């Protein structure tokens, strides 16, 4: 079992290092079985002034101290930020999403991540919808002929 962000996991599949992975959708030479539709959400400490809001605006993502996870990598939030020309006010960076969550909980800044991830932990972090489209398709990526049995999963 390997935990990494989607682009790295897909590289591992395409390099025949792993057989399959559950990732957010990426382009490439692989087969795809969609499993779930997710959204990115803003993480804010329950004590943060934005915690009382119903959603986060693009402008707030640009101004608030931001905690980045996997800086410079092809993460889902980086792809969305690029699409909407968002340059966050990055103050802290981590290589671990749980560390990001803990830093947000401590009030060190806000972050953006999949809504599913925050459901794993119990803490003082509020997940707020973002005011623009952040739809992310989660699914199973694998190479054709390597795992012929996976074809049956989709049927």
- Does any domain span residue 113? yes
- Does any domain span residue 137? no
Domain span at residue 47?
35-132
**C-alpha span between 81 and 77 (Å, rounded):** 6
Instruction: State how beta strands 135-142 and 20-24 pair.
Output: antiparallel
Q: What is the pLDDT of residue 94?
A: 96
Number of domains forming the structure of the chain: 1
Which residue ranges of the chain lie beneath pLDDT 50? Answer: 149, 152, 155
Element (H, E) at 67: strand 65-69
- Does any domain span residue 10? no
Are the beta carbons of 67 and 109 closer than 8 angstroms?
yes
Q: Which of 88, 78, 101 is nearest to 58 (CA)?
A: 88
Dump pLDDT digits (tens) for 94-109: 999 999 999 999 999 9
Q: What is the pLDDT of residue 153?
A: 52
- Does any domain span residue 138? no
Q: What is the pLDDT of residue 155?
A: 46
Residue 5 CA from chain centroid, whole number: 8
- Does any domain span residue 100? yes
- Does any domain span residue 16? no
Q: What is the pLDDT of residue 46?
A: 95
Write the CATH number for 49. Answer: 3.40.190.10
- Does any domain span residue 42? yes
């Amino acid at each position: 079992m390997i935990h990494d962000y989607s682009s790295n996991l897909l590289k591992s599949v395409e390099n025949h290092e792993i057989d399959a992975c559950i990732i957010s959708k990426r382009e490439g030479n692989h087969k795809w079985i969609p499993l779930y539709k997710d959204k990115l959400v803003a993480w804010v400490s329950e004590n943060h002034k934005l915690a009382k809001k119903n959603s986060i605006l693009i402008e707030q993502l640009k101004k608030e101290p931001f905690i980045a996870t996997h800086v410079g990598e092809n993460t889902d939030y980086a792809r969305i930020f690029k699409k909407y020309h968002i340059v966050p006010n990055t103050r802290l960076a981590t290589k671990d999403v749980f560390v990001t969550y803990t830093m947000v909980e401590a009030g060190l800044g806000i972050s953006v991540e999949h809504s599913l991830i925050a459901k794993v932990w119990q803490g003082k972090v509020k997940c707020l919808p973002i005011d623009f489209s952040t739809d992310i398709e989660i699914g199973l990526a694998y190479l054709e002929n390597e795992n012929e049995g996976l074809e049956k999963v989709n049927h």
